[in-house]
Structure 1
């Protein structure tokens, strides 16, 4: 299939596909006129790459792991790398949860008349307080 069809079927931009090729995450063959052609399984590859990017992995990490995926082999190194990425994501989740909780507290405070913040419906004589 050509690049436009792959982009449509995988739900990504043509630009993303070109980037994936530059990074060694996707391969194509070229027609005599230079057009890219992809095998049917390229849709699955692109979706996997998207999922790994969505999990926060870098293109270098993805490129390092894809040979194991292609060979359907799990090595101690690849498992350790994936576990390290999972731990990194877990740490981000903890930090984001703390941030969300602080934001919830600020929202609660800012919508309460006792908080002294300007909010819709506040009396005009009340001084707004910065958060």
Structure 2
């Protein structure tokens, strides 16, 4: 019986450890953000839109930035799942958008980058 209880307790802990791995490291994410600085900033629009508070924001609506029709009409909200897909391959996530970034394929760096973006709200 004790083995059964221990096994059940371990099974319950597995999803928690998987979530911890997906949480990302904001400090590492700040480093992963370095190439993004060519077009994006926090607090002002540049070549790309202002990313301050992007997590949880509706896509294509930040004031003062001229978005593509594809992004304006995407219906997306930048939650973690949508950001991960977008940052992995923007052209696949929203065909017809004007972002020239080819994407970040490393899942760990994606999680780290999103963790960093969450600190900038």
Same-fold call, TM > 0.5? no
Q: Tell me which structure has the larger Cα radius of gyration.
A: 1
Higher helix share: 1
TM-score by length of 1: 0.26
